[in-house]
Amino acid sequence: MQKINGQDMKRHNVHLVINTIIQYGPISRTELRDKVGLTAATVINITNDLLEKNIIVQEGLATASSKGRKALMLNVNPTAFYILGVSITTRRLIVGLADFRGEVVDSIDVSIQNTITPEETLDSIQQKVQTLIEKHRVPREKLVGIGVAAPGPIDAHTGLITVPPDLPNWRNVPLQKLLEERLMIPVRVANETNAAALAECYAGGDEREFVFFISLFRLGVGGGLVLNGEPLLGFHGSAGEVGHLLVQPGGRLCGCGSRGCLEAMISEDALLEAAAAGGAGEISLEELFARSKNMDPVCYAVVKQAADYLTMAICDVVHMVSPSRIVLGGPLAEMSPQLLELAFRQVHSRSYPHDYSNIRLQLSTFGDQVFLRGALSIAAGELLQQRLETLGS
């Protein structure tokens, strides 16, 4: 058995105290002691040191429930550290800056085309990172790192983007390495839907929760799952690819080469083709959803069929992995609450297994910022934790 020395124990205790303050702050020293299970003297010594280093701050007094002196409340100093997040999709590039409390200080959001090259993307990210750092006067030593949420497949260990089907100019792009060389700070790259699942897990307040996230894009569907605060990647890093579940044998051709995959059946093109075939004419996706909401029979039938396909996929997820919560996000989820409502109603009406009546189905907490939040969560979950582990040295 490996022996733990005093310095290792100190680092562990400091790390424990800071993460508890991050999760529960503002918090009194007494409450903090009870949650971390350390002695009062240890908690006082650690917090005094963190106050002196300006990592945490005193934030008012506790509300007194009985007679006696009110306790000082402690919280993390929002300006002690900063992280950056980058969200890359086929239509948008977002670069955001967040403080130590996880609040997004500022972000820059631009439209892009899916034909954008890696070099153009790197140039744009570098320029926007520099803009945010200069605008908010972030000292370089306080910048912990960058999390990137991007279309997969991605090698999570190296940050290599392999063959994303909807970014034709991206093939075997070592995005993590290229960004680190340009920006000279640590970078972590993750599949956008895995990153979103992590953000939703953190937002739920219980990192032990089993969360499955489904991304509904105009061009495709992604899936990601998180358990105990860690993305479950599977053997080749592609676990959770719900977009390629078969929902219609012999259906539309999918980009993966198969027919009838979920993403092939509910993509923008598929929905508009079905609407045109039904006599709706040439309409936009926005108009399709608006007409369906007003109960136009053709458009409603198209959305109802898409909801049926989505229901099949959700039920497959429940049967296979039985998550405690399934969250849906992405452009289609934001554009058509009706689509989700129809699918959720069907899922909850199932009688077997019992999970169906208890499972929580919901729209993303973060709306159209969910992938940026996911990128920030990747940075916070790994790079920020690595920085915090050094504070007890």
Digit-coded pLDDT (tens) for 98-107: 999 989 999 9
Is residue 161 within 8 A of residue 179, CB to CB? The reply is no
CATH of domain 205-364: 3.30.420.40
CATH of domain 6-76: 1.10.10.10
First to last CA, the chain: 23
Return the domain boundaries, the chain.
6-76, 82-196+371-389, 205-364
Residue 65: the pLDDT is: 52
Residue 136 has pLDDT above 70, yes or no: yes
What pLDDT score was predicted for residue 80? 93
349: pLDDT strictly greater than 60: yes
Tokens for 357? 């009546």
Query: Are 82-196+371-389 and 205-364 the same fold in CATH?
Result: yes
Class of domain 82-196+371-389: alpha beta
- Over residues 57-89, the pLDDT tens digits come to 998 777 655 455 678 899 999 999 999 999 999
pLDDT at 355 exceeding the cut of 90: no
Sign of CA dihedral 148, 150, 155, 161: negative
Q: Looking at 78-87, 179-188, 206-215, 317-326, which range is the least confident one?
A: 206-215
For 273-313, the pLDDT digits (tens) are: 999 999 999 999 999 999 999 999 999 999 999 999 999 99
Residue 81: which of 371, 390, 373 has the closest Cα? 390
Does the pLDDT value for residue 4 go beyond 60?
no
Report pLDDT for 294: 96
For the cut 50, the answer to whether the pLDDT of residue 1 exceeds it is no
pLDDT at 386: 84
Q: Angle CA(110)–CA(114)–CA(116) in degrees, nearest 5?
A: 75
Tell me what the pLDDT averaged over the chain comes to: 89
What is residue 236's predicted lDDT score, i.e. its pLDDT?
Answer: 72
Say if residues 125 and 93 touch (Cβ distance below 8 Å).
yes
pLDDT for 243-257, tens place per residue? 999 999 999 999 888
> Which pLDDT tens digit goes with each residue over 149-174?
998 888 888 999 998 888 889 999 99
Q: What percent of the chain has pLDDT over 90?
A: 64
pLDDT of residue 364: 93
Whether 30 has a pLDDT exceeding 80, the answer reads: yes
Q: What is the pLDDT of residue 229?
A: 79
